Structure 1
Amino acid sequence: MRVIARLDVKNQFVIKGIHLEGLRKVGDPNQLAKAYYEAGIDEIILIDAVASLYNRNNLFSVLQKASEEVFVPITIGGGLRNLYDVEKALDAGADKVALNTAAIREPELIEKVAKQYGSQCVVASVQAKHTANGWEAYIETGREKTGVQVLDWVRRLQELGAGELLLTSVDKEGTKSGFDIPLVRAVNNAVSIPVIVSGGYGQPKHINELLEVTEPSGLCFASALHYKTACASDLRDSIESAKAGRMK
Structure 2
Amino acid sequence: MQTRLIPRLDIKGPNLIKGINLEGLRIIGDPQSFARQYYEDGADELLYVDVVASLYGRNSLHDIIKRTVQDVFVPLTVTGGIRSVDDVREVLRAGADKVGINTAATKRPELIREVAHKFGSQCMVLSIEAKMVAPGCWEAYTDNGREPTGFDVIEWAQRGVELGAGEILLTSVDREGTRHGFETELIHAVSTAVAVPVIASGGMGKPADAIVAIMDGCADAVAMADILHYKRGTLADIRAALRDASLDVRHL
TM range, smaller chain: over 0.9
Report the TM-score, using the length of structure 2 for normalisation: 0.94
**1:42-81 map, 5 Å:** 42-81=44-83
Structure 2 counterpart of 1:156, from 150, 155, 159 = 159
* Alpha-carbon separation, structure 2, partners of 1:140 and 1:107: 17
**1:28-177 map, 5 Å:** 28-132=30-134, 134-177=137-180
Question: Residue type of the partner of 1:170?
Answer: V
Structure 2 counterpart of 1:188, from 180, 191, 198 = 191
Question: Residue type of the partner of 1:183?
Answer: L
State the 1:22 CA deviation: 0.4
Question: Residue type of the partner of 1:222?
Answer: A
State the 1:238 CA deviation: 1.8
Give SS of 2:70's match.
helix
Q: Which runs of 5+ in 1 are unaligned?
A: none
Indicate conservation of the 8 Å contact 1:207/1:242, yes or no.
Answer: no
Report the TM-score, using the length of structure 1 for normalisation: 0.96
* Alpha-carbon separation, structure 2, partners of 1:110 and 1:39: 33
Deviations 1:134-192 (A, max 9, x none): 00000011110011000000000110000100000000000000110100010011101
* Alpha-carbon separation, structure 2, partners of 1:52 and 1:136: 19
Deviations 1:216-241 (A, max 9, x none): 11100101111111111111112222
State the 1:214 CA deviation: 3.0
* Alpha-carbon separation, structure 2, partners of 1:208 and 1:48: 28
Identity within the alignment, %:
49
Backbone CA RMSD of aligned residues = 1.1
Indicate conservation of the 8 Å contact 2:49/2:79, yes or no.
Answer: yes
Structure 1 counterpart of 2:202, from 194, 199, 203 = 199
Per the alignment, residue 227 of structure 1 pairs with 230
Deviations 1:32-81 (A, max 9, x none): 11111011111001110000011111100000111111000001110011
Q: Which runs of 5+ in 2 are unaligned?
A: 248-252
Q: Which has the higher helix share?
A: 1
Aligned residues: 244
* Alpha-carbon separation, structure 2, partners of 1:108 and 1:242: 41
* Alpha-carbon separation, structure 1, partners of 2:11 and 2:34: 11
Question: Residue type of the partner of 1:198?
Answer: S
Give SS of 1:200's match.
coil
